[in-house]
Amino acid sequence: MGVDVPRVWRHDDGAVPDDRADGWWFRDAVLRLPEVRPERDVLVVAAPPGSGRARLVRQWLRRSGAAWSWISPAPGDSLAETGRPHDAFVVIENAQVLTPGQLAGVIEAVPGAGRRLVLLGRGEVLPPALAVRLAGRLAEVRGADLWWPAERVPEQVAALTGLMVNASVAHRLHLATGGWPAGVLALARTAAPLSAEGHVLAHLTADLLLGDLPDELGDFVLRTSLLPGADLDPELCAALAPGASPAPLLDEARRWGLTSDVWPQTAPDVVARQVYHPLVTAAARHRLSRRGAGDAENLLRAGETVAALGRGPLAADLLLAAGAAPKVLEQLRQAAPRGFRGWEPAHLHRVVTALPEPSWSGDPEHRALIAFAAAIAGDHLLAAETLAVSPGVSWWPAVNALIAGLAGRSENAYGAVLPGFFGLPDNDAALNVLAAQAAGFAGDQGSVARRLAAARETPGRPRYLLLTEIGVEALVSAWAGELSSAQRLADRAHRLAAEAGLTGHPMLATAALAEAEVLRSRGDAPAALRLMTDDATDFVVGPAGGAAPGQARRVLRARLRLDLGDVPAARAELERLRAEGDEHLPPALAVRLALARARLAELDGDLAAAQAGLEAVPLVPSVASALLFIALQRQDQSGTTALMARWPADAGPEDRLRRMLAEAAQALAGGRRAQASDLVNEALVAAEPDGHLRVFLDLPGSLRTLVSTTLRRSPDASHWRRSLAAHLDDAGAGDETVAVTRRELVVLEQLTTDLTHAQIAAGLFVSENTLKSHCRNLYRKLGVHSREEAVRIARVRGWLGASSRGEKVLDVNITQTPEVIEL
């Protein structure tokens, strides 16, 4: 890059460009920096290109009214001009082109005798040692002080371009540019600001960020931009830019504002390293692409160097970009015995899918390798398609078995022993973990415990298998109702995944499912649904019906939709599951699917269909409870007695709760209210430690009312009891199953007053016995035994709107009846 004669502007020659500077937004404290720091004689304005730093300084100069000089040196210039003696401000634009020696000379020559030096640059203008020596004399403005916040984007775009953008477009502009003013304006000036954003930003960043770099630095940036930003270090830079001195050039890149730490709006984990800002990387790659096909030779050399350093994921990226598919396959082959430890699943999946199929499809070993990598990354569909034709390799049966096991399919035989190819110190450990997962979805808790105990006898298991192991244990605990234990296990799985760099690994799917089941059992259906709609840990559905964890997530999503009252969404979820094939679900999933469909049938008013669906699955306590409640609705006393006689054995705390509540429901239906109350009290005491709520919300309306009444009588209710009472009130508000006549509603309105029964009867022109008859009907339908309880439940269900407005309701259909003597 050539050396230009420096441009020198004076305050009185009108040479400083205007560029509509008054329309640019700055924070008031920044604009008044020379005024609030009058004792500082060196002012530094260091911000990335396009941030408006020159506009800010021009506003300072115009507002000051003092004499000033504006000097714009070029790289390599001697900088003989340092302003006139009577200038109040001497501005050095593009200060990053000056060497540390030149900067020290300017600082020595300019300030003093009322003169102040303003260094205007695009990055880290002052070297750290020089900044330390200027302590007490230095005042700085950084890039974060000039950045546009999102809410100011529409105003600034309108002021500087005349375009009006709505809040939605402004928000997307801000996200696309990170609040970079020049980037926002570049996108706003295009006719279709969002569709062409990549092209416009690429040109803009290339010109603004790389346009005036010195030759050596510019070439270094272009070459090292081939590396991902987080992996930039001197050793790798030397591989990409032979003959360069990486350490001083990286320091120079920082002085020129090319690294993330001198840019605002950058994630903290990126700022912590000396790496290029993402916009700089994009600009460099854009320039490289305009030169042709890219520097494949450098990429190949860097990839081989990185591979020799043992950094397989980065080496695979570089080799893939260089078009060296065989060398990428070699990196995958070396990583496979370690279970691809150190590879992010999403990154592994990108590498596998980016490899050209002809590079591996003709070799059975390579096909099996791609299938194994795809299975570890969670893409079981790709794994199955890759190995549609069984390759003739000795260890293929083990690969096929492992893929099936990871997919959660219930298979008793996993093939021969897993070979050393998988890097397992004891092959039986993997087999036991996979068998435990299959047993968990089958509902066989005993087998799960035995298999996991056997697996734990082997130390050094691969981390992805350990995540599966913990997730299975968490899910079994959640389904048994041991909510606190399940939550601790799920938290442990996520913590281990984060420590190993496996966040988002598909092996976390079972742990995430357990966490969602805990949230549902504790009554937090919205949070559980949010967790289940996050596909970060979901499995790809395979051709043989899909993975059991993925199917379990679908069933749980449907049940959560039903919990939230979103019947159409639940129905659609179940229909999608039926279309994908749900005939061969593991027993535990089949039970949960039958419960969801039975509840949907109940909402449709088809109790016979609900009962038939439940009778087709194993009789576990949750199914027995649902069948009992259906029998009570149909007033089938013999059916309820038979169900209680063959009640299944309890498998955990939730099953014991269901048994107590089922006995309470039967007692209440038989008129034994005292016994029902005692059982409800026992259930509340048993449920509180783990925070069970959902089991109470699934009760029939009359029993829910009894639970609510019991909770209201607690003088010192805990937070959990108050929460359960609130949930029960919400559930009661949506219950429309009780048919209340217009006459009974009129009576109910009058029960909210302080009038006696005799006074209410007189006001309605009926006998007191007739009124009592209406009250008895109301109490029976609402499942209560007092006037106060009836009024409270009616208010919850929204039946007392008229009384809340102070209106008196009369029903002309209530006719006067003769007195009736009750014996």
* Residues 6 or more apart in contact with residue 631 via CB below 8 angstroms: 639, 640, 643
Mean pLDDT of 104-129: 85
Predicted local distance difference test score (pLDDT) of residue 797: 60
- The C-alpha angle with vertex 568 and arms to 566 and 573, in degrees rounded to 5, equals 95
| Cβ count near 689 (within 10 Å) | 11
Length of the chain: 823
Domains in the chain, CATH or no CATH each: 7-146 (3.40.50.300), 425-535+546-580 (1.25.40.10), 643-735 (no CATH), 742-804 (1.10.10.10)
Instruction: Find tokens 């395979």 and name the residue.
Output: 542
Residue of 776 and 506 predicted with greater confidence: 776
Say if CB 796 and CB 748 are below 8 A apart: no
For residue 56, which of 138, 148, 150, 120 has the smallest C-alpha distance? Answer: 120
Q: What are phi and psi of 10, to 5 degrees?
A: -110, 165
Mean pLDDT of 761-771: 86
pLDDT over threshold 60, residue 180: yes
pLDDT over threshold 90, residue 76: no
Predicted local distance difference test score (pLDDT) of residue 660: 92
Predicted local distance difference test score (pLDDT) of residue 327: 93
* Residues 6 or more apart in contact with residue 138 via CB below 8 angstroms: 40, 42, 43, 44, 126, 131
How does pLDDT run across 687-721, given as a tens digit for each residue?
A: 888 889 999 988 888 888 888 888 877 656 788 88
Predicted local distance difference test score (pLDDT) of residue 12: 63
pLDDT band at 513 (very low <50, low <70, confident <90, very high): confident
pLDDT over threshold 90, residue 353: no
Judging by beta carbons within 10 Å of its beta carbon (0-12, 13-18, 19+), is residue 362 exposed, middle or buried?
exposed
How would you write 590-632 as a 3-class SS string? HHHHHHHHHHHHHHCCCHHHHHHHHHCCCCCHHHHHHHHHHHH
How does pLDDT run across 616-670, given as a tens digit for each residue?
A: 888 888 999 999 888 887 777 888 888 888 888 888 888 899 999 999 988 888 8
Predicted local distance difference test score (pLDDT) of residue 25: 54
Residue of 462 and 680 predicted with greater confidence: 680
With a threshold of 0.85, does the pTM exceed it? Answer: no
Predicted local distance difference test score (pLDDT) of residue 311: 83
Predicted local distance difference test score (pLDDT) of residue 670: 82
| Cβ count near 290 (within 10 Å) | 10
18-27, 190-199, 252-261, 760-769: least confidently modelled range: 18-27
Mean pLDDT of 310-329: 87
DSSP 259: B
Q: Tell me the pLDDT of the chain averaged across its residues.
A: 76
DSSP 446: H
pLDDT over threshold 70, residue 86: yes
pLDDT over threshold 80, residue 490: yes
Predicted local distance difference test score (pLDDT) of residue 16: 54
Write the Ramachandran bin of 323: left for phi over 0, alpha for psi from -120 to 50, otherwise beta. Answer: left
Judging by beta carbons within 10 Å of its beta carbon (0-12, 13-18, 19+), is residue 292 exposed, middle or buried?
exposed
For residue 319, which of 290, 355, 292 has the smallest C-alpha distance? Answer: 355
Predicted local distance difference test score (pLDDT) of residue 462: 66
What is the identity of the amino acid at 659?
A: R
Residue of 820 and 501 predicted with greater confidence: 501
191-195, 330-334, 386-390, 716-720: least confidently modelled range: 386-390
Predicted local distance difference test score (pLDDT) of residue 489: 92
Mean pLDDT of 22-43: 70
Task: Round to whole Å and give the CA distance between 53 and 208.
Answer: 13
pLDDT band at 417 (very low <50, low <70, confident <90, very high): very low
Residues paired with 91 in a beta bridge: 70, 118
Judging by beta carbons within 10 Å of its beta carbon (0-12, 13-18, 19+), is residue 209 exposed, middle or buried?
buried
pLDDT over threshold 50, residue 535: no
Predicted local distance difference test score (pLDDT) of residue 286: 78
Task: Round to whole Å and give the CA distance between 601 and 650.
Answer: 27
- The C-alpha angle with vertex 362 and arms to 358 and 364, in degrees rounded to 5, equals 130
Task: Round to whole Å and give the CA distance between 284 and 202.
Answer: 9
Q: What percent of the chain has pLDDT over 90?
A: 5
Q: What distance lies between CA 816 and its chain's CA centroid?
A: 65
Predicted local distance difference test score (pLDDT) of residue 806: 37
Task: Round to whole Å and give the CA distance between 212 and 233.
Answer: 24
How does pLDDT run across 580-620, given as a tens digit for each residue?
A: 767 777 888 888 899 999 998 888 777 788 888 888 888 88
Q: Where are the beta strands (DSSP E) in 673-738?
A: none
Q: What percent of the chain has pLDDT over 70?
A: 75
Mean pLDDT of 111-135: 84
Predicted local distance difference test score (pLDDT) of residue 813: 35
Residue 545, helix vs strand vs coil: coil
Task: Round to whole Å and give the CA distance between 344 and 351.
Answer: 11
Residue of 19 and 65 predicted with greater confidence: 65
Residue of 189 and 760 predicted with greater confidence: 760
Mean pLDDT of 167-180: 81
pLDDT band at 425 (very low <50, low <70, confident <90, very high): very low
Predicted local distance difference test score (pLDDT) of residue 378: 65
pLDDT over threshold 70, residue 233: yes
Residue of 454 and 811 predicted with greater confidence: 454
pLDDT over threshold 90, residue 207: no
For residue 143, which of 8, 7, 277, 34 has the smallest C-alpha distance? Answer: 277
67-71, 82-86, 143-147, 543-547: least confidently modelled range: 543-547
For residue 599, which of 590, 587, 607, 588 has the smallest C-alpha distance? Answer: 607
pLDDT over threshold 60, residue 168: yes
Q: Report in angstroms the alpha-carbon separations of 644 from 278, 658, 723.
A: 66, 12, 30
Mean pLDDT of 727-742: 60
How does pLDDT run across 561-587, given as a tens digit for each residue?
A: 998 888 888 888 888 888 776 777 788
Give the full edge-to-edge strand order of the sheet including 68-72: 7-10, 68-72, 89-93, 116-121, 42-46, 138-141
pLDDT over threshold 60, residue 812: no
pLDDT band at 474 (very low <50, low <70, confident <90, very high): very high
Mean pLDDT of 527-531: 86
| Cβ count near 75 (within 10 Å) | 18
Predicted local distance difference test score (pLDDT) of residue 419: 40
Mean pLDDT of 778-794: 75
